[in-house]
Structure 1
Amino acid sequence: MTKPSLAFRPAVLAFSALFGLTLANGAAADQVVVPVMNQADRAQAELPRTGQSQADVRSRLGDPRQVQGPVGNPPISQWHYPTMVIYFEGDHVIHAVLKPKSK
């Protein structure tokens, strides 16, 4: 069995000292508050399900107001509707999100 390399000791000691000082100083993180949309609105919205085809979405919601993409490999595109954005990989839904309400 070989002994651990001595080359890593200074780095390990430096990390240990820094971590120890952080704990000794009572490090605290700031709290980030992210507003969440009203969950009732999301439950009432009938978002497309993952795996649905573009043809299914178009037949149910009509033509999108705006289409972005496809870009990348695999090709990802976005369909923008007044209340939601639908993300497609190729021809199938991978995600759908509600747009924030205008105030």
Structure 2
Amino acid sequence: MKLLSLLLLLILAPLTLAEEIAIPIGNQGINGLNLPKKGLTMTQVESEHGAAAVKHDATGQPPITRWEYDNYIVYFEGDRVIHSVLRHKPKAQYQTPSN
């Protein structure tokens, strides 16, 4: 019985040492990179952030358009931003913002 208890203790001990790291969503990403804010028009986004590398045509109802930049993607409903998201890639691969 002592041997079984010892084995169980040895197996479970590393699990008690695990550390959980939580990064609030607002703190993820790149310092100095400002994503287009919700509600901006396509014209405002283009004037503030430059031309997108790829502009996908609108699809669906309501029409959703996607513009792809090097570090992020912007989604529009009609001509207004509804969401901006960082591209998933290692932090070292992001380009340094020129703003």
TM value normalised by structure 2: 0.59
What value does the CA root-mean-square deviation take over the aligned residues? Answer: 2.5
Query: Which of 74, 98, 101 is the aligned partner of 2:86?
Result: 98
Write the distance in 1 (CA, Å) between the matches of 2:38 and 2:31.
16
Write the distance in 1 (CA, Å) between the matches of 2:26 and 2:43.
29
Query: Which of 39, 50, 61 is the aligned partner of 2:49?
Result: 61
Write the distance in 1 (CA, Å) between the matches of 2:44 and 2:30.
20
Give CA-to-partner distance per residue, 1:44-75, whole Å, 9 cap, x none.
Answer: 42011110000000001111110112001110
Query: Which of 36, 47, 71 is the aligned partner of 2:59?
Result: 71
Q: Tell me: CA distance 1:41–1:71, structure 2 relative to 1, closer, same or farther (3 Å).
A: same
Aligned-residue offset at 1:41? 2.4
**Aligned positions, number:** 69
Write the distance in 1 (CA, Å) between the matches of 2:26 and 2:89.
10
The answer to whether the aligner puts 1:89 opposite 2:77 as a matched pair is yes
Larger RCO: Structure 1 or Structure 2 (Cα < 8 Å, ≥ 6 residues apart)? 2
Unpaired runs of 5+ residues, structure 1, are: 1-35
Moved beyond 4 Å, runs of 4+: none
TM value normalised by structure 1: 0.57
Write the distance in 1 (CA, Å) between the matches of 2:85 and 2:32.
13
Write the distance in 1 (CA, Å) between the matches of 2:39 and 2:53.
21
Unpaired runs of 5+ residues, structure 2, are: 1-22, 94-99
